[in-house]
Structure 1
Amino acid sequence: MSTSFPIREECPPGACQCGRDVLLGDPQGDTRILMLTKAEEKKLVARLENIESLEDLQRMQSRMAAQLGMVVTITPGAGEVRTVRGFNIEIEDRPGLCSKTRQTVPAAIRRGLDRRPEIAWALLDSQDLLGGLF
């Protein structure tokens, strides 16, 4: 399969089970996720670490879904949320999504929430967990 855009390099053998080869071999496959090269992933991580507001975070989530097909959900954990580690940040599993990306994107979001705690409070409030206290 030939693509008109640069695609992510293949991970070393045995390091990743992303299914990149299967995706490239499928003519009907959604190859948008392969546009996330290592350089582009670094830019994305830097952007997620420097989010400015809850709206900014939600805009980034929708852009990742639209441009890369990467669906990221952020929900409060089942227990008490005392730190940003109390949030469940999950990326929908899909072919071509590198396991490293599955780790770095949630970590970058956590660093961004840690840097700007008011975004974490706004996220909790949007789930009505604070009951309108703030």
Structure 2
Amino acid sequence: MNVSFPIRQECPPGACVCDRDRLLADPASDLRVLRLTKEEEKRLVARLENLSSLQDLRAMQGRIQAQLGIVIHIVPSDNEVRTSRGISIQLEELPGLCRKTRASLPAAIRRGFDNRPEIVYALLNERDLLSGT
């Protein structure tokens, strides 16, 4: 299949389960995720590490979903959250999404939380029963 934009290079055989070849073979498939080249991933990771607020995080989630088709779920644990590690960051399954990317995006968001703990407080406050009073 010929694509008009640069796509991510293929992972070494056996190193990833992204099904990139099957995605490229299907003409009806969504190829947006393949736009995330290694250089673009580095830029995205740097951007996620430097989040400024919860609104910035939500805007980035929306842009990532719109431009790449990657859906990121960020939810505080049902139990007590003492650190940013108590927040669940999950990426939805998506054909073509590299194994390394699945690990690097949540790690970058966590580093962003560590840099700006007020984002974690705002995230926890979203689910607070008394936030509207």
Q: Which TM-score band applies after superposition, normalised by the shorter structure?
A: over 0.9
1:121 aligns with 2:117: no
Q: Partner amino acid for 2:118?
A: E
Deviation string, structure 1 residues 12-54 (Cα, Å, up to 9, x no partner): 1110000101100010000000000000000000000000000
Letter of the 2:83 counterpart: T
- What residue is the counterpart of 1:56 in the other structure? 56
Match of 1:68 in 2: 68
5+ residue gaps in structure 1? Answer: none
Alpha-carbon distance between aligned partners in 1 of 2:77 and 2:104, rounded to the nearest angstrom: 19
Q: How big is the shift at 1:79?
A: 1.8
Whole-angstrom distance in 1 between the partners of 2:3 and 2:84: 39
1:13-24 aligned within 5 A? 13-24=13-24
TM-score for both structures, normalised by structure 2: 0.96
Runs of 4+ in 1 over 3 A off after TM superposition: none
For the aligned residues, what is the CA RMSD? 0.8
Structure 2: distance between partners of 1:128 and 1:13 = 46
Alignment of 1:91 with 2:91, yes or no, is yes
Normalised by the length of structure 1, the TM-score is: 0.95
CA deviation map 1:70-107 (0-9, x unaligned): 00010001321100000000000110000100000000
Whole-angstrom distance in 2 between the partners of 1:80 and 1:109? 20
Query: How far apart are the structure 2 equivalents of 1:111 and 1:20?
Result: 28
Percent identity between matched residues is 63
Question: Which consecutive unaligned segments of at least 5 residues does structure 2 have?
Answer: none
How many residues are aligned here? 131
State the distance in 2 between where 1:125 and 1:95 align. 34
- Distance in 2 (CA, whole Å) between partners of 1:17 and 1:77 is 28
